Chains A and B, each alone.
Chain A
Amino acid sequence: MLQDIDLVIEAGSFVALLGPSGCGKSTLLRFISGLDSPASGSIVLSPGANEAEPDQRTRLAFVFQDAQLLPWRSVLDNVALPLELQGSSRAEARDRARGPLAEVELSDVLERFPDQLSGGMRMRVSIARALVTQPSVLLLDEPFAALDELTRQRLDERLRRLWQTRRMTVIFVTHALAEAAFLAERALVMSRRPGRIVLDHVLRLPEVRSLELRTNQDFVAETGLLYQALQQYGALDDAWPVVSRSGA
């Protein structure tokens, strides 16, 4: 599925991983997380500048597509879950879960259940759950793909700000060009199967990014660059034919 992936990701950077469906983006993310192992090759997580030796299991967090919350747990208990699984008492875990929930501005719905929240709110709970263990690496697999465009743009902006305050390494898988350009410092474009990295590009965009950036000339140019790479290597052979022929 994946071929010749040789990649170094700086600690504290924000990397977007782009590519057509089925190219292996998610597989790569699963390899990095240790959920699956590659048939050949290896993944090494080195500690950041001011970090102790990292324990892979406790330093990583994963945000899936669709929030993947436990429906029988309240918002607070969902966010407390990772700490409980790592051995904290329920009371301590609930206590520590309040911080990340405040960061995603959900302090007023702590005792609600997932079915009482909107899709955007559920995703914010999911992000809070990922932040609760203070991860140094945050992996996101098309987290906002199922949300409407406006909700998605707001979540993008919020995520970018969270990264700016926390400075953890973020690897964000998406197939949306504008989202990748808006969020990341560096964008990697993958080809269709077998997935290779065909473009490794550092985005020349300001540090502080607001919603208005999306209409800015530089932003449009950067998005265009990513589009070209995706168009050249990513289009599937069996995609909808571009030229329509008359007759049957």
Chain B
Amino acid sequence: MTRATAEQSGLRELARAALPPALTFVIVVALWEGAVRGFAVPRFLVPPPSDVLMAGWTERATLAGALFTTAQGAGLGFLLSVSVGTSVGLLFSLSRWLERGLYPYALFLQTVPIVAVAPLLVLWFGPGLRAVAVSAFIVSVFPIIANTLAGLRSVDPRLSDLFRLYGATLSDAVLKLRLPSAIPSMMTGLKVASGLSVIGAIVGEFVAGFSEGNAGLGITVLSAYRQLRTDLLFAAVLLASLLGLSLFALVSSLSTLLLRRLRSPG
């Protein structure tokens, strides 16, 4: 295949992947705009997309600052989740005792209603970035623990036999067999956690987001709601999900790169 045709087929591939969702977007936005105007729905209930776009443009300075603040909280929480979750998963895989003793409490992090715990976080960490990051961490850490553990446990038993036969040390078994085998599963955990960390950050901001000067998207949503500025509220919500999507896309492409380098399936 020549380079030109390879590029062409690459473009065609992209078009095939991107066209259906783009088309869906255009149709939904058009229907939404038409329905709101056609049925004269009050704008404080459902604003038409054009209003949302306008609000996003006029409040762009506020929204950009809020986006940056939320991204910081979510990013920090996510990084914390990755380091803690991976280490805890690894520790659990090394000791059944530790796993049995602590796994139920790790599961507690997954099931605890974060909205109810958020006030505690303000008490402990003070309002602002730290409490928000911890909230993002609590929501996103469990999928990383669970997937790391599952991955480390999914090693082919014959390969474990092979390592045993040659008298491999524990660190060899972990570094040369278990961790590489676990990477596809760990990447799944990271992808799930990336989206959750944004949710955790927004919820954290609802309660803990007031700190001098920089308020996140959660605060923008709250204040827009109090002023019945539904168009701005929509714009903030859309930005928050865009943030989650970009974090997910970032982690996904990193994981694809890594998996390709490692030649692992998945």
Q: Would B177 and A70 count as touching, CB distance under 8 A?
A: yes
Give how many B residues have a beta carbon under 8 Å from the other chain's beta carbons.
20
Task: Confirm or deny: B159 has a beta carbon within 8 angstroms of a beta carbon on chain A.
Answer: yes
**Nearest-Cβ distance from residue B26 to partner chain A, whole angstroms:** 40
Which A residue's beta carbon lies closest to that of B159?
A68
Q: Would B177 and A68 count as touching, CB distance under 8 A?
A: no
- CB contacts (< 8 Å) of A115 on chain B: these are 263
Q: Would A62 and B165 count as touching, CB distance under 8 A?
A: yes
User: Which of A80-88, A152-160, A195-203, A234-242 binds B?
Assistant: A80-88
Task: Confirm or deny: B180 has a beta carbon within 8 angstroms of a beta carbon on chain A.
Answer: yes
Q: Would A60 and B165 count as touching, CB distance under 8 A?
A: yes
Q: Would B161 and A72 count as touching, CB distance under 8 A?
A: no
Taking CB atoms and an 8 Å cut-off, the chain A residues in 42-101 that contact chain B are 57-58, 60-62, 64, 66, 68, 70-72, 81-82, 84-86
Task: Confirm or deny: A113 has a beta carbon within 8 angstroms of a beta carbon on chain B.
Answer: yes
**Nearest-Cβ distance from residue B87 to partner chain A, whole angstroms:** 22
Interface code B149-169, partner A: CB below 8 Å = 1, 0 otherwise?
000000010110111111111
Which A residue's beta carbon lies closest to that of B161?
A35
- CB contacts (< 8 Å) of A72 on chain B: these are 180, 262-264
* Cα(A62)–Cα(B265), bound, Å: 25
Q: What's the A-B contact tally at a CB cutoff of 8 Å? A: 53
**Nearest-Cβ distance from residue A79 to partner chain B, whole angstroms:** 12
- CB contacts (< 8 Å) of A57 on chain B: these are 165-167
**Nearest-Cβ distance from residue A57 to partner chain B, whole angstroms:** 5
Q: Would A33 and B165 count as touching, CB distance under 8 A?
A: yes
- CB contacts (< 8 Å) of A81 on chain B: these are 166, 176
- A113: which of B161, B180, B263 is its contact (CB, 8 Å)? B263
Task: Confirm or deny: A169 has a beta carbon within 8 angstroms of a beta carbon on chain B.
Answer: no
Could you tell me the dominant secondary structure of chain B's interface residues?
helix
Q: Would B167 and A62 count as touching, CB distance under 8 A?
A: no
Which B residue's beta carbon lies closest to that of A34?
B165
Task: Confirm or deny: A174 has a beta carbon within 8 angstroms of a beta carbon on chain B.
Answer: no
- A85: which of B158, B166, B180, B264 is its contact (CB, 8 Å)? B166
**Max chain B CB contacts within 10 Å: which of A58, A70, A82, A114?**
A70
Known A-B contacts A64-B158, A72-B180; A85 and B163 likewise in contact (beta carbons under 8 Å):
yes
* Cα(A58)–Cα(B264), bound, Å: 29
- CB contacts (< 8 Å) of B264 on chain A: these are 71-72
Which A residue's beta carbon lies closest to that of B172?
A85
* Cα(A60)–Cα(B167), bound, Å: 11
Known A-B contacts A71-B264, A71-B265, A72-B264; A85 and B159 likewise in contact (beta carbons under 8 Å):
no
* Cα(A133)–Cα(B167), bound, Å: 13
Taking CB atoms and an 8 Å cut-off, the chain B residues in 122-176 that contact chain A are 156, 158-159, 161-169, 172, 176
* Cα(A81)–Cα(B177), bound, Å: 11
- CB contacts (< 8 Å) of B176 on chain A: these are 70, 81, 84-85
* Cα(A99)–Cα(B116), bound, Å: 65
Q: Would A86 and B162 count as touching, CB distance under 8 A?
A: no
- CB contacts (< 8 Å) of B177 on chain A: these are 70
Q: Would A68 and B166 count as touching, CB distance under 8 A?
A: no
- A84: which of B165, B172, B263 is its contact (CB, 8 Å)? B172
* Cα(A33)–Cα(B176), bound, Å: 22
- CB contacts (< 8 Å) of B265 on chain A: these are 71
- CB contacts (< 8 Å) of A62 on chain B: these are 161-162, 165
- CB contacts (< 8 Å) of B163 on chain A: these are 85
Q: Would B165 and A68 count as touching, CB distance under 8 A?
A: no
* Cα(A170)–Cα(B159), bound, Å: 21
**Nearest-Cβ distance from residue A67 to partner chain B, whole angstroms:** 10
Which B residue's beta carbon lies closest to that of A86?
B166
Interface residue ranges, B against A (CB under 8 Å): 156, 158-159, 161-169, 172, 176-177, 180, 262-265
Residue pairs across A and B with Cβ atoms less than 8 A apart, 7 shown, are A33-B165, A70-B177, A72-B263, A82-B166, A84-B176, A85-B163, A85-B168
Closest A-B pairs by Cβ, 3 of them: A85-B166, A72-B262, A85-B168
Other A-B contacts than A85-B166, A85-B176, 17 sampled, CB-CB below 8 A, are A34-B165, A35-B165, A57-B167, A60-B165, A61-B165, A62-B165, A68-B158, A68-B159, A71-B262, A71-B264, A72-B262, A84-B172, A85-B163, A85-B168, A113-B263, A114-B263, A133-B166
